[in-house]
A and B are shown apart, each in its own frame.
Chain A
Amino acid sequence: MLPLLKRRMLILLNQIKTEFNAILTIAFRDITKLLRDRVRLISGLVFPVIFIGVLGGSLQANVGSQLGFNFLVFVFTGVFIQSLFQSTASGVIFLLEDRNSDFSQELFVAPVSPRSIIFGKILGESMVALTNAFGILVFGLLVGVSFTFWQAISLIAMAIAGCLLGGAFGIIVLSNLSEDRTVRQIFPFLIFPQIFLAGVFAPLKEVPTVLFILSKIIPLTYVVDFGRGLYYWGTDTYDQVVLLHPLVNLAVILAMFLVFLFVGTWLFVRKERDR
């Protein structure tokens, strides 16, 4: 009985090791490719820099004093999370590019779970997004955003949450659309309304009811609010800008991540195999 159990445990451990190895393999492919793609490296920084520097800076100069909190920091936290969310989500969409170049065949014929392949892709794109996040952080410091040790830790937590949910969101989008062209046309319509409704540029406390309801059904709202909840924790600004307790946001993020990942992977794989 015991040797049988031991054997089964060994098989299971071996399987976990293989899946983990595959996840790392897929994830590091994205990093390798990013390091050779200077255009992507630079473009990942352009929009956050415009949003934080130009939009955040000018609004802070004009209306900052009336709001009662530093608008530049507010926009910085929002854009930081949003850019990670968006970068990972759009990176996952590159799976379609892999399909067009026939590389995805090599992935989907490998003896590993499709969930590992998708999770590896999310992890890889998260690492790519985090590389850009470092640049955004440096830019934030340059324009006068400061943070305590706790806030620096909170930035890491919000970055991870933003990446994972963004990646899972990308998968659920991918699972429902087949053509590369369609995805590229529709994706901006799924991302941009989220940016404006999630409170990246303006607090959601005083918005009209319709917009408030809409903001509640989009994933980006919860990661932005989660990030701000951590960043502003224990400060006077917390009540002005945060909607839900970080733990509530975290629970919603986790639930959405798992649903998007499992349902998205299942639908995506089914769509690829059951033609």
Chain B
Amino acid sequence: MKPIIEVENLVKRYRKAKENAVNDISFSVQEGEFFALLGPNGAGKTTTISILTTTLMKTSGMVRVAGYDTEAQRKQVRQHIGVIFQSPSLDLNLTAEENIRLHAGLYGLYPYRPIYRLMSGNYKKQIFELAQILRMEKEMFNPVKTFSGGMKRKLEIIRSLMHNPKVLFLDEPTSGLDPVSRRTLWSYLKNVREKEHTTIFLTTHYLQEAEETDNLCIMNKGKIVAQGMPGDIKEKLLKYYLIINAQEQNLLETELGQKRIPFQKTRKGIKIFLEHSVQAQEILKKVETPLITLDVYAPTLEEAYVDIIESNQNGV
């Protein structure tokens, strides 16, 4: 099956910039997949999503969405995508219904009428259904500026799905949302995925969100530093280690050196990387210096992620 998103050797350098914002990245996303681009601020996630959604021109490389080239066939790409931008793209002076009507008019879903009452019966029916899903039957005709951040996001998602897009792009959709709104949003998106089988392309800097995806790319400084299923990446990234220390640390260091056990000096003590957790016992059997600290660490994915980002930043 042909991927719904294909990116090959994508490069983007902004005008007057000295470095590439996106530096020769390649990946693909299959239809129906939940895919995430994970990375710290400035990693190149928003640049990548902007190119994929046709709002930014690439410098070089090949990008296809739903089988169409994002430069030569922009209109076709736009017909098949829904986009939730980093900051809400709603007209705050209009009501929720007017924002939806505007979207419907732009996408040619219903003949536009300046007043709700003049819109077609089908449109009104859809509005009624959407209001029920959003649980905002009363607020549908209120100005969006009176809405909470979570309500605005839900309204945007509903709006972006009105034209049944094949791919839904979400650029850091939960930034600025409180934990409750964030959870509600994810459960709603989960329902959408199950019902509509929409491909979801997410950019985020929240590791928890990325862990929910089918496939994941970790970006840093415009490059992909890890790619695969979250479970596999986790497996690859997670390195168990042992922290030991002795009253006489120099003695311990000498002993480890003599016994050819590789180690690193840290603030907490002496760090010894393990291939697996049971290896700790084998190492401890060899050490004769009396120990005052002993800890076996299994880092969280978050620690592993920070580690990968930091080692990439230090050019390791």
Contacts and interface: CB of A to CB of B under 8 A. Distances in A.
Nearest to B159: A106
Contact of B55 (A22, A109, A112, A113): A109
Interface of B: 14-15, 53-57, 75-76, 78-79, 81, 83, 85, 87-94, 98, 101-103, 105-108, 111-112, 114
A107 B106 contact: yes
A147 to B, nearest CB: 30
A87 B254 CA distance: 82
Given A33-B94, A110-B78, A102 B88 contact: yes
Contacts of A107: 106
B114 A109 contact: no
21 contacts: A21-B108, A22-B108, A25-B102, A28-B112, A28-B114, A29-B94, A32-B94, A36-B93, A102-B89, A103-B89, A105-B83, A105-B85, A105-B89, A106-B90, A109-B53, A110-B107, A111-B75, A112-B75, A273-B55, A273-B56, A273-B57
A272 B93 CA distance: 24
Given A105-B55, A105-B85, A112 B106 contact: yes
A275 interface: yes
Interface of A: 17-18, 21-22, 24-26, 28-29, 31-33, 36, 101-113, 272-275
4 A-B pairs with least C-beta separation: A25-B105, A18-B108, A110-B106, A111-B78
A82 B72 CA distance: 41
Given A17-B108, A109-B83, A110-B106, A33 B93 contact: yes
Given A101-B92, A102-B88, A274-B57, A24 B112 contact: yes
Given A105-B83, A275-B14, A32 B107 contact: no
B254 to A, nearest CB: 58
A107 B85 CA distance: 12
Given A24-B112, A105-B85, A106-B89, A111 B105 contact: no
Contact of A29 (B55, B56, B76, B91): B91
Contact of A32 (B15, B54, B83, B98): B98
- Per DSSP, chain A at the interface is helix
A110 B75 CA distance: 8
Contacts of A275: 14-15, 56-57
Given A22-B106, A109-B55, 19 more contacts: A17-B108, A18-B108, A21-B112, A24-B112, A29-B91, A29-B94, A32-B94, A33-B91, A33-B94, A36-B93, A101-B91, A101-B92, A102-B85, A103-B89, A103-B90, A112-B108, A272-B55, A273-B55, A275-B14
A104 B231 CA distance: 38
Contacts of B91: 29, 33, 101, 103
| Max count, chain B CB within 10 A of own CB: residue among A36, A111, A113, A274 | A111
A106 B103 CA distance: 8
Contacts of B76: 111
Contacts of A26: 106
Contacts of A31: 114
B11 to A, nearest CB: 14
Contact of B102 (A29, A104, A108): A29
A94 B91 CA distance: 13
